[in-house]
Structure 1
């Protein structure tokens, strides 16, 4: 299902009793964040929240704030237009089964080709709802094609209900931005999600880390000595926001992937002040540029790790224009100690792309990233074990796959262990492992936000083999059988308990 707008998505949430409206004024300085934090930690992720009267510096904002809109299994499925994320998993499986690939590179190429064939390629439009109101800042004039009704809006960054999330944050942060960039040489597009600290009404930080594609595009502009055009969209169909967070392989366009998710091509319009195309249904578009070599201290920021990230220098984004819908709603999120909204988004990503992992690791049964690991810190994998040291083969293979290189701990268990049951995994880990024999430690790139390594961006990772041991794995005893009740007895007790 393709949503016409972010508001359309919120209406569907409300019809499904998945949204709570807050009518009273609520401050964007910490108060909305604390309310949302409590909601996100409610059983099942609580409800989406729509603050109709957010307060900015003592004044009511013209734009409502929506938060926790994808913070449950049900809402993330609704955002992607399916009853269950497993439906998308099956679609990707069908694409890969059409012509079984021989390796991972061929698999991603086939996936891209299959998505192309599903009418997912973007379309160009002359105008879009995202430009119903146009404010051009670079020349301090409103766009010539704007009507008088549009001219009276003098929107700047300080007018948006941008949250301050945690007490020691360095300021207000845009936390749900879809950042659109292009490689100036290849023309390849990227849409990533990089937080943006607001410095003033016209400038923000652009927190793209060294491993991110946005930073790679920026490096090319820096080498050429050219100003880098950047567009930031907020809102629109939630499939676009989800696609911006997905760790897609090079060559698989996020706009293309969003079209696949929503079963309808994404319409794109040209920005007013820069040569970048953006989704026509977005709620807000921030147009601007990053100047090569210009850096500014960014942070602290209460991050998804559950800790504040330190102050570091990052590129500066200069605003040249703001355009938005007349009925725009500001989408945002907060991150912090788990579980939070981002857990459900990350969980959906793993489930959707599980067929790609299984293609590279035929022995893989299931995989999950538990919330306690805040994505990269902990991975549970179950396999059908056939030969000695197979668990170690899977660990090292995963460390070589894109952002899986950041995985600090990988625990591999047998196929009969439910990786989504952390208690069961810990039971197997404690029961089935000898620390010296069943663990390995490697050096690998680490997440820039991980504060534990002695040096940023490089650290040690540990793999643990919690599977049963086979001959040839330096185990010289008879492996015991796991306790399990007879199925006949289980059936008897099931019947007795119903009476």
Structure 2
């Protein structure tokens, strides 16, 4: 992400905002006006008087989306994927099977996630009372919102039955420094993991949350992929190189090694309203 910020800066597609701003409504109001005008990405460097900057609107134009995915024009990526899958016009009946084989078509070894031992996201580790999400400027976006939300997280969980990883983008409402509401709609894969945990009467379901990281992986984490496709591997295919992952410190999951912030914790199956889950952090880890 830091490389992409520098890239956008060189392209004149980033504005650094040094004036003091509030994470409550002000940042999103500014961003809404800039987005409506097709304006640049914004890096707020002085939020709530703290030292954690807020980056917003990196995917606000077709051109920035293309750059985030490693191409100059989005058609280049479209044509590349079509060529890999042997497509001409619309998707054939066997498109899902072809998508599942895309790793082989693109070079499986090159695109599969790579586990590393040391990662930038684990440079700073906070535990116990120090593991407080309120140290970060989490936004309240709209006047009638119920509170502050993390709006672009990569939420990582593992299927209790198959052990298969899922990465999704689910809003998280901050209740206090150690508890959040995980909003995964009933048709989402994360919600299916949660329901499976309820059926198995699990005391908790481990969940990791990665904030920041490379923009391609953020993008693939929000894609409506088939349940048995690994979003991290798909990111590797699009990037043309493996996404580096690192094992969490306290739970049995891996996270993108170049995330800016990682939250390690768990949800409580059976203790929340349908479609939502209580999420509690063990640790906060982040890059300096």
Both structures adopt the same fold (TM-score exceeding 0.5): yes
Q: Separation in 2 of the partners of 1:313 and 1:77?
A: 33
CA distance in 2, matches of 1:118, 1:17: 36
1:212-361 paired onto structure 2 within 5 Å? 212-226=188-202, 227-295=204-272, 314-326=276-288
SS in structure 2 opposite 1:119? helix
Aligned to 2:97: 106
The Cα shift of 1:289 comes to 0.2
Matched, 1:129 2:120: yes
- Structure showing greater radius of gyration is 1
Q: Which structure has the higher relative contact order (CA within 8 Å, separation 6+)?
A: 2
Partner of 1:92: 81
Aligned position for 2:177: 201
**Aligned runs of 1:431-470 on 2, under 5 Å?**
none
CA distance in 1, matches of 2:61, 2:93: 36
1:207 Cα offset (Å): 0.4
| 1:4-24 residue CA offsets vs partner (Å, 9 max, x unmatched) | xx1111110000000001111
**Count, aligned residues:** 284
- The match for 1:67 among 56, 62, 67 is 56
Show the counterpart of 1:176: 152
2-side partners of 1:202 and 1:248: how far apart? 31
* Deviation, structure 1 residue 136: 1.7
Q: Is the 8 A contact 2:157 2:207 kept in 1?
A: yes
- Give the Cα–Cα distance (whole angstroms) in 2 for the partners of residues 225 and 233 of structure 1: 26
Aligned to 2:143: 167
Q: Is the 8 A contact 1:112 1:252 kept in 2?
A: no
TM-score (norm 1): 0.55
State whether residues 285 and 324 of structure 1, in contact with CA within 8 Å, keep that contact through their aligned partners in structure 2: yes
User: What is the CA–CA distance in structure 2 between the aligned matches of 1:193 and 1:105, rounded to whole Å?
Assistant: 22
Rounded to whole Å, the distance in 2 between the matches of 1:279 and 1:23 is 29
2:27 — aligned with what?
Answer: 32
The 3-state SS of whatever aligns with 1:214 is helix
Using the size of structure 2 for normalisation, the TM-score is: 0.94
Give a deviation string over 1:352-384, Cα, whole Å, max 9, x none: xxxxxxxxxxxxxxxxxxxxxxxxxxxxxxxxx
C-alpha spacing 1:115/1:24, structure 2 compared with 1 (3 Å): same
- Give the Å deviation of 1:109: 3.1
CA contact (8 A) 1:182 1:190 kept: yes
Aligned to 1:48: 41
Report the Cα offset of residue 155 of structure 1: 5.2
* 2:108 aligned to which of 117, 127, 130: 117
CA distance in 2, matches of 1:269, 1:85: 30
Conserved 8 A contact 2:103-2:111? no
Separation (CA, whole Å) in 1 of partners of 2:225 and 2:146: 30
CA distance in 2: counterparts of 1:289 and 1:155, whole angstroms: 14
Q: Return closer, same or farther for 1:314/1:117 CA change in 2, 3 Å cut-off.
A: closer
Unpaired segments ≥5 residues, structure 1: 1-5, 141-153, 297-311, 327-499
Q: CA separation in 2, counterparts of 1:241 and 1:280?
A: 13
Q: Provide the residue aligned with 1:469 in structure 2.
A: none
| SS class of match (1:49) | strand
Task: State the match for 1:81 in structure 2.
Answer: 70
d(CA) in 2 for partners of 1:254, 1:129 = 21
